[in-house]
Amino acid sequence: MAIDDRSPDDRLALRLEWATIGWNLGEVVITVTLGVLARSIALVAFGMDSLIEVFASGVVVWHVTGRVSAERTIRAHRLIGVAFIALAAGLVVSGGRRLVTGELAADSPLGIAYVALAALAMFGLAAWKKRLAERSGSTPLAAEAAITFLDGVLASSILLALVLTAWKGWWWVDPAAALLVAAFALREGVENLRFDE
């Protein structure tokens, strides 16, 4: 199917997913670099989480650009479920390690500014994708919108953790927030793995 033959909703979904992929690939480079410079596991983990978002967006691109069928939709949900579970596992490992070591990251004003911008971008993209998914009836897009929303929640929790760590020295806020987001990601992952039209 040529791109011109797609519905306006499908074309918009593809543009949103390609925008998400582009943003997240840049985010990997920026947040991992800032995280290494500040010795911040939170920033590095956030960058690695962006790779999972790239994968989930790629699944939606694959779903939209192919011939939609019940089998393809179920496969898309299962792949997105795997992405949620990978996100949860990564957050548990990084958050658990931080709780055990009590490692305090250095201040990162650039990290704080970037994560604030990332949170706004992810919440905006998630809301747009969710509305489009409801209008078009695309359940894989709705599931991926949930990952984008969780990415915004994760960015917000990392922002709060970076601010509180810099301001109050509360090192435990970051890993605690990561573990909370992991619980939500695990729930979403299980729901997507069990999806059956």
pLDDT in tens, 8-64: 988 999 999 999 999 999 999 999 898 888 877 778 778 878 888 898 899 989 988
* Residue-wise pLDDT tens digits, 108-152: 889 899 999 999 999 999 999 999 999 999 999 998 999 899 889
pLDDT at 35: 83
Q: Structural domain boundaries of the chain? A: 6-193
| 3-state secondary structure at position 152 | helix
| Mean predicted confidence (pLDDT) in 82-88 | 88
> What end-to-end distance do the CA atoms of the chain give, in Å?
24
Residue predicted with more confidence, 45 or 188: 188
pLDDT at 173 over 70: yes
Q: Is the pTM of this model over 0.85?
A: no
Mean pLDDT is lowest, of 92-101, 102-111, 135-144, 155-164, for: 102-111
Question: In the structure, what pLDDT confidence band is assigned to residue 1 with cuts at 50, 70 and 90?
Answer: very low
Write down the number of H helices and E strands in the chain: 6, 0
The Cα 43–Cα 62 span in angstroms is 29
**Burial zone of 185 (CB within 10 Å; 0-12 exposed, 13-18 middle, 19+ buried):** buried
Give 182's pLDDT tier (boundaries 50, 70, 90): confident
